[in-house]
C-alpha cells in the first residue's frame, strides 16, 4: 500500500473551501500544473516555528515510507529524492527513513521513534499516514511535518503532490500509438479521484494517437501488491488488450507485459533499463529538488506550511526516457503537448468531454475547474470499467 491518494489536495482543499490553507488558487493554471504555492512557501498559515535546529550536530530529517525502498516504483522514487537531498546538502544534514510502515498506530509509533532520535523534520509519503501525521504534528509543534498526497495542513504540517494527470496524458499518447488494436489496459489501485483522473488522462492521450482507443480498467484495491497487480494485468491481456498502463507502485504490470511482449507505460520510476524491449515511458515525480529546498528552508528557519501541487511547468512531474517502441512521430507529438503544458497553452481536461455513456459532460472550450478535477468520479468515453471500483 501505499500511499496515497490524493491529491493535491491541497489545492483541492483550498478550492473546495475545506481547509484553511490560505491558498487563493481556484483552478489549475492552464497547462495543468496547478502550482498553488511554491515550495518556498507563499502560504499564510505557517511560519517557521518548527524545525529549528537543536544542538550542533547534523540536521536530522526522516522519511516514513509505506513500501520498501526497492519497490521499483513509488517508494523507490521518494528514496531517490531523499538521497538527492542528502547528497546536495552534504554533511550538514543526516537523513534516515522507516520503510514498510503500516498505516495507523504503527505510523504514529514510527514518527514518535524518529522524533525521539532527534529528527526535526518528518516527511511521510502515503495518504494513509495523514491522520497519524496530523496528531503527531499537534503533539510536536517543534517538528516540521510534510506529507505527500494528503490534504490536511496546519502551522507545522504541509502537503505536497504533483499533477500526474498531465503527464499521464502523454504516456497515454505513447501507449495509444504503440497499440495495434486500440484496446489498452490500465492496472489501477483505488477508485479515487486521483486515480480516476489519471485513467481519464491516459485514455484521452491514447485517443489522440489512436482514434477510438479504449482503456479497460482493472482495480487491485491496493497501492502495492505485486501479486494482485500481476493478476490484474494478466486478466486484461486475456481480455484482449495489447498495451498496458498503470497507477500502481510496483512494476509487476510491466513484467506481465514483458512476458507477453506488449508495450507498457509505467509509473513513478524509470524502469527503461529493466524492460528494454517493451518500455514506452512513465510519469515520474521529481521529488529530490522539492525535498532539498524544503529541508534547506527548515534549516534556515524560513520553512512555511502550505500545499504544493507541482506540475510539468516546474518539472515536478515529467516523463521517463522513451523506449524504442515510441516512434519519432509520437515523440514529436508528445513533445509539443508537453511544451503546451509548460507554457500554459494547452490543457487536456478541456471540453468537449463525454462520459462513458457518450453524453457530453464538459462543454466545448470549457476547461475543468480544479475542484472538479480533484473530486473527479466519472470516466471519460472509451474507458471500460466502473469508476466505483
Q: How far is the CB of 248 from other proteins (least distance, A)?
A: 15
* CA atoms of 215 and 119, how far apart (whole Å): 45
- 3-state DSSP helix/strand/coil % of the chain, to nearest 5: 35, 20, 45
Residue 187: strand pairing partners: 218, 246
Cβ proximity to other proteins: between 109 and 354 the closer is 109
Q: Does 311 bind other proteins (CB under 8 A)?
A: no
Cβ proximity to other proteins: between 133 and 192 the closer is 192
Cβ proximity to other proteins: between 170 and 370 the closer is 370
Cβ proximity to other proteins: between 242 and 372 the closer is 372
Q: Does 208 bind other proteins (CB under 8 A)?
A: no
The one among 59, 186, 190, 267 contacting other proteins by CB under 8 A? 190
Cβ proximity to other proteins: between 22 and 344 the closer is 22
The one among 26, 54, 87, 113 contacting other proteins by CB under 8 A? 113
The one among 59, 123, 127, 267 contacting other proteins by CB under 8 A? 127
**Residue 190 CB neighbours (<10 A):** 21
The one among 265, 298, 374, 383 contacting other proteins by CB under 8 A? 374
- H helix and E strand count, the chain: 11, 15
C-alpha cell belonging to residue 285: 515525480
Q: How far is the CB of 313 from other proteins (least distance, A)?
A: 23
| Distances 144 to 107, 109, 159, 160, 365 between C-alpha atoms, Å | 16, 17, 11, 13, 42
Please give the DSSP secondary-structure letter assigned to residue 142: T
Q: 1-20: which residues touch other proteins (CB under 8 A)? A: 1, 4-7, 9, 12-13, 16, 18-19
Q: Does 152 bind other proteins (CB under 8 A)?
A: yes
Q: 157-186: which residues touch other proteins (CB under 8 A)? A: none
Of the candidates 352, 197, 354, which has an alpha carbon nearest to the alpha carbon of residue 283? 197
Count of residues of this chain found to bind other proteins when the rule CB under 8 A is applied: 46
Q: How far is the CB of 211 from other proteins (least distance, A)?
A: 33
The one among 102, 258, 260, 331 contacting other proteins by CB under 8 A? 102
Cβ proximity to other proteins: between 154 and 179 the closer is 154
3-state secondary structure of 350: strand
Give the chain's end-to-end CA distance (angstroms, integer).
17
Q: Does 143 bind other proteins (CB under 8 A)?
A: no
Of the candidates 373, 384, 300, which has an alpha carbon nearest to the alpha carbon of residue 41? 300
Identify whether the C-beta of residue 95 lies closer than 8 Å to the C-beta of residue 158. Answer: no
Q: Does 99 bind other proteins (CB under 8 A)?
A: yes
* CA atoms of 347 and 367, how far apart (whole Å): 8
Of the candidates 49, 124, 46, which has an alpha carbon nearest to the alpha carbon of residue 305? 46
Of the candidates 293, 267, 297, which has an alpha carbon nearest to the alpha carbon of residue 279? 267
User: Alpha-carbon dihedral of residues 226, 232, 233, 239, nearest 10 degrees?
Assistant: 170
The one among 100, 208, 350, 356 contacting other proteins by CB under 8 A? 100
Binding site for other proteins (CB under 8 A): 1, 4-7, 9, 12-13, 16, 18-19, 68, 95-106, 108-110, 112-113, 116-117, 127-128, 131, 151-152, 190-194, 221, 374-375, 388-389
Amino acid at each position: 500500500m501505499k500511499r496515497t491518494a490524493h491529491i493535491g489536495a491541497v489545492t483541492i482543499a483550498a478550492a473546495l473551501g475545506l481547509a484553511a490553507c490560505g491558498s487563493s488558487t481556484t483552478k489549475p493554471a492552464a497547462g495543468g500544473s496547478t502550482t498553488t504555492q511554491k515550495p518556498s512557501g507563499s502560504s499564510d498559515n505557517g511560519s517557521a516555528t518548527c524545525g529549528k535546529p537543536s544542538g550542533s550536530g547534523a540536521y536530522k530529517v526522516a522519511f516514513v515510507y509505506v513500501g520498501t525502498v526497492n519497490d521499483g516504483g513509488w517508494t523507490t522514487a521518494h528514496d531517490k529524492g531523499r538521497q538527492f537531498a542528502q547528497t546536495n546538502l552534504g554533511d550538514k544534514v543526516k537523513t534516515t527513513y522507516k520503510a514498510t510502515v503500516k498505516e495507523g498506530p504503527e505510523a504514529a509509533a514510527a514518527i514518535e521513534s524518529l522524533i525521539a532520535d532527534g529528527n526535526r523534520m518528518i516527511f511521510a509519503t502515503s495518504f494513509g499516514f495523514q491522520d497519524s501525521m496530523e496528531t503527531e504534528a499537534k503533539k510536536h509543534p517543534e517538528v516540521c511535518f510534510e506529507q505527500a498526497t494528503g490534504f490536511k495542513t496546519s502551522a507545522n504540517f504541509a502537503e505536497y503532490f504533483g499533477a500526474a494527470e498531465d503527464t499521464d496524458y502523454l504516456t497515454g499518447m505513447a501507449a495509444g500509438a504503440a497499440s495495434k488494436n486500440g484496446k489498452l489496459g490500465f492496472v489501477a489501485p483505488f477508485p479515487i479521484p486521483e486515480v480516476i483522473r489519471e485513467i481519464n488522462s491516459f485514455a484521452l492521450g491514447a485517443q489522440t494517437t489512436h482514434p477510438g482507443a479504449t482503456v479497460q480498467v482493472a482495480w487491485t484495491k491496493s497501492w502495492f501488491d505485486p501479486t494482485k497487480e500481476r493478476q490484474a494485468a494478466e486478466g486484461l491481456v486475456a481480455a484482449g488488450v495489447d498495451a498496458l498502463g498503470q497507477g500502481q507502485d510496483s512494476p509487476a504490470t510491466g513484467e506481465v507485459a514483458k512476458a507477453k511482449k506488449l508495450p507498457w507505460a509505467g509509473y513513478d520510476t524509470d524502469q527503461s533499463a529493466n524492460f528494454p524491449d517493451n518500455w514506452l515511458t512513465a510519469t515520474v515525480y521529481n521529488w529530490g529538488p522539492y525535498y532539498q529546498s524544503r529541508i534547506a528552508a527548515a534549516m534556515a528557519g524560513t520553512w512555511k506550511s502550505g500545499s504544493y501541487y507541482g506540475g510539468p511547468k516546474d518539472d515536478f512531474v515529467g516523463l521517463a526516457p522513451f523506449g524504442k517502441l515510441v516512434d519519432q512521430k509520437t515523440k514529436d507529438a508528445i513533445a509539443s503537448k508537453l511544451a503546451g503544458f509548460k507554457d500554459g497553452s494547452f490543457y487536456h481536461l478541456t471540453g468537449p468531454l463525454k462520459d462513458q455513456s457518450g453524453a457530453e459532460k464538459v462543454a466545448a472550450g470549457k476547461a475543468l475547474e480544479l475542484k472538479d478535477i480533484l473530486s473527479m468520479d466519472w470516466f471519460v468515453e472509451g474507458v471500460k470499467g466502473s469508476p466505483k471500483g
